[in-house]
Amino acid sequence: MLDKQNILADWKMDLIESTFYNYQTLCISFGFVSLFAIAFPLTPLIYWLVTAADTMATKSLLLNVSKRPTPIGGQDIGQWHHFLKFTAIVSIFSNVGIFVYSTNSLYNISQYTKLVIYFVSCFGFLFIFLVIDCTLDVGDTKVEELILRQDYLAKKMNKFVTNRDEETNSQR
- Do you know the residue count of the chain? 172
The domain spans of the chain are 17-68+74-140
Q: What tens-digit pLDDT sequence spans the chain (172 residues)?
A: 456 656 555 655 656 655 666 778 888 888 888 888 888 888 889 989 988 998 888 787 777 776 666 666 666 677 888 888 999 999 999 999 988 888 887 788 888 999 999 999 999 999 999 898 888 755 555 666 767 777 787 777 767 655 555 555 555 5
Q: Can you spell out the DSSP letters for 135-150?
A: H--PPPP-HHHHHHHH
Backbone Cα Rg of the chain = 25
Global pTM value: 0.60
